[in-house]
Amino acid sequence: MAKKTSGHREAFKTMGDVFDLFTERTVQKLISQGYLDGLITPIKMGKEANVFLGKKGEGQVAVKIYRLSTCDFNRMYEYMKSDPRFGTLVRKRRKVIFAWTQREFRNLMIAHEAGVRVPVPHAGRNNVLVMDLIGNPAQQLKQQPPEDPQNFFNEVVRMMKKLHAARLVHADLSEYNILNDDEKPVFIDMSQATTYDNTSWQMYLDRDVHNIARYFGKLGVKITDDKLKDMIING
């Protein structure tokens, strides 16, 4: 096992701020627990988190790693402090980042159980999240617009209605956080999602509605914010 870890360090030696010793140990623990066999290559590099392609048996998984050194934990804390599920959270960098990772895990599970297409999470430990790989991998909607915008939009609405029924709002839904998986939408990046027990849920829903109506309106779908919100809430 130690050999695999050193291999990761060599393969990603230019990413020292991602693969600090603590994160390496976390990845190694997940390997020893059987959630993955190793990391293959980066899929998406971001300021706060990076997603890697991971090997699991004969298949593959996605491994999301929040960067301990560059995450804006103050912003994360501001999002979570009004979420009753994290009401006792202490404003300390690592505690906030670890809670943020667990929040995404829990939100993905809620969405999955509600019938929403999301990457099913397998494990969340410290700042590392292991989940299903979507596609090969699938591209963001921003990068790969749908061939049939109306049908794709209808599917997005159906999924937003399922989230509403589960009393969960994505809170950051846009063409950047929806994958186009063989002309089917998949919601991703659900760390900001919150339950309707959060007093700000309606504000977040309005923002999601606006982003979706704006994007699909540009593609020719006849939709307004008010009409979309009514479709979600009232069917």
Q: Known catalytic residues?
A: 172, 189
Cα distance between residue 5 and residue 39, in whole Å: 9
In a 10 Å sphere around its CB, with 0-12 CB exposed, 13-18 middle and 19+ buried, how is residue 90 labelled?
exposed
End-to-end CA distance of the chain: 52
Give 59-91 as a 3 state SS string. Answer: EEEEEEEECCCCCCHHHHHHHHCCCHHHCCCCC
Pull the structure tokens for residue 210.
Answer: 């606006």
Beta bridge partners of 186: 179
In the chain, the amino acid numbered 121 is P
Beta-carbon neighbour count of residue 9 at 10 Å? 14
Q: What is the H or E stretch that residue 195 is in?
A: strand 194-195
CA atoms within 13 A on the CB side of 2: 0
Q: Which residue, 108, 211, 107, 188, is CA-closest to 140?
A: 188
Question: Is the distance from CB of 172 to CB of 189 less than 8 angstroms?
Answer: yes
